[in-house]
Structure 1
Amino acid sequence: MKATGIVRRIDDLGRVVVPKEIRRTLRIREGDPLEIFTDREGQVILKKYSPIGELTEFANEYCESLNENTSYISIITDRDNVIAISGGSKKEFLEKRISPDLEKIVESRDTFITDEKNLPIKLLYEDESPEVYTAQVVCPIVMQGDPIGSLILLSKDKEKTMGNLEKVLLETASKFLAKQLEH
């Protein structure tokens, strides 16, 4: 564990403020759920909670199914990282931090699709060349009104375009995943 040198007191309601610098570094936003753990030495550990992370095996199977039926690269993210991928390089995507552009789409709760007006966006924070993907559909996963991640279809084939069919497919899949997480 890394020491920060920051000390905070617990108030009379049992609350403690997580310093802004730490929240920014760990990408913890207002309203984000945190898991609380304790260890044998009596340390309290706060961990950012990802509802989608609870379904990693299911998310992998879901990505595989989308890939098999569409032949597109399929990806599932939580609000911070890629958690499942099929049809593309796991090494390139899996557990990588999502880009600010993708974060904005997730926060907007609106489906993004590449077309004449919308060029492909960077998906990963470290991504240097989003134009390698010629077609994208990004659909936020919204559970109980809160954006918790996204479903993505990608293609590198210049001949392929994505339209309303792919958009409706991902919106349906997104709602299905959200319902699975609510149970």
Structure 2
Amino acid sequence: MRRIDELGRFLIPKEIRNSLRIKHYSSLEILTDYEGEVIFKKFSPIKELGLLVEEYAQSLYNSLGHTVCIADKENIITVAGSNKKRLLNRQLNPEIERIMEERRIKLCATPLSLTADDVAISTSIIIAPIIVDCDVIGAVILMSKNPDAKMGRLELKMAETAAGFLGKQIAI
């Protein structure tokens, strides 16, 4: 941070915002430590739900048998199913972020990488954005690496329901 303007806004140089992936209207927490230093921390409302998100993902996985990921706008927060260690806390593929910003549920039946580093390429994926107060804050993602597994109306509705429920929990 370089300075505070006349309206009390913190000015963070564009290069720093880009390298830290701080986007326009990103939520930041402002903290202070015992020495009086000011600390900016990215805020993820989905992380605040903690155990509820993990249990919901596990419940979906138990019901559907497809890997379930719940992500904020940048990273995968929780995973239930296969590849948990490989997916957890990974940065999302920019294509997934773009789909989330479209604000509608999407079924992709073509191979698509879930992560920015191409760790998890799925053959079928459903992305249901989590929307709170007209803002996309994350997504519920169902994925399958099995080329024979077809996702349909049931999986779409389950992902949509999960995204709606988590959005309501955050809005409370």
Query: Scaled by the length of structure 1, what TM-score is found?
Result: 0.89
Amino acid at match of 1:42: G
Contact 1:56 1:84 in 2 (8 A): no
Bigger shift: residues 38-47 or 165-174: 165-174
More strand by share: 2
CA distances 1:35-70 after superposition (whole Å, capped 9, x unpaired): 000001110001111000101211111110000000
The amino acid of 1:121's aligned partner reads L
Separation (CA, whole Å) in 1 of partners of 2:78 and 2:13 = 31
Matched with 1:141 is 130
- Matched-pair contact (CA < 8 Å) for 1:79–1:148: yes
Instruction: Give 1:129 deviation, angstroms.
Output: 6.2
3-state SS of 2:2 partner: coil
1:178 aligns with 2:167: yes
Structure 2: 5+ residue stretches without partners: none
Matched with 1:15 is 9
Alpha-carbon distance between aligned partners in 2 of 1:26 and 1:77, rounded to the nearest angstrom: 18
RMSD over equivalenced CA pairs, Å: 1.4
Shift of 1:28: 1.1
2:86·2:119 contact (CA, 8 Å) conserved in 1? no
| Corresponding letter in the other structure for 1:112 | K
How much does 1:158 deviate?
A: 2.1
SS at match of 1:29: coil
SS at match of 1:169: helix
Could you say which residue in structure 2 is the equivalent of 1:87? 81
Give the aligned partner of residue 126 of structure 1: 117
Q: Is the 8 A contact 1:56 1:83 kept in 2?
A: no
Separation of aligned partners in 1, 2:3 and 2:68? 45
Tell me the alpha carbon deviations over residues 117-170 of structure 1, each in whole angstroms, 9 at most, x when there is no partner. xx132210111562xx22111111111110001111111222210112211111
Find the residue that maps to 1:161 and give its secondary structure. coil
Decide which moves more: 151-160 or 94-103: 151-160
Shift of 1:114: 2.2
Pairing 1:154–2:138 present: no
Distance 2:10 2:140 in 1: 35
Deviates more, 1:121-130 or 1:158-167: 121-130
Q: Residue type matched to 2:5 in 1? A: D
Query: What is the aligned-residue identity percentage?
Result: 42
Checking the alignment, whether the CA contact within 8 Å between 1:52 and 1:181 is kept in structure 2 is yes
Identify if the C-alpha distance between structure 1 residues 128 and 84 changes in structure 2 by more than 3 Å, giving closer, same or farther. Answer: closer
The TM-score, its normalising length taken from structure 2, stands at 0.94
Q: What is the SS of the residue equivalent to 1:77?
A: strand
Q: Does 1:65 find its partner at 2:65?
A: no
- Rounded to whole Å, the distance in 2 between the matches of 1:149 and 1:46 is 21
Looking at CA atoms only, which structure, 1 or 2, has the larger radius of gyration?
1
Runs of 4+ more than 6 Å apart = none
Equivalences, count: 172
1 CA distance for matches of 2:108 and 2:3? 49
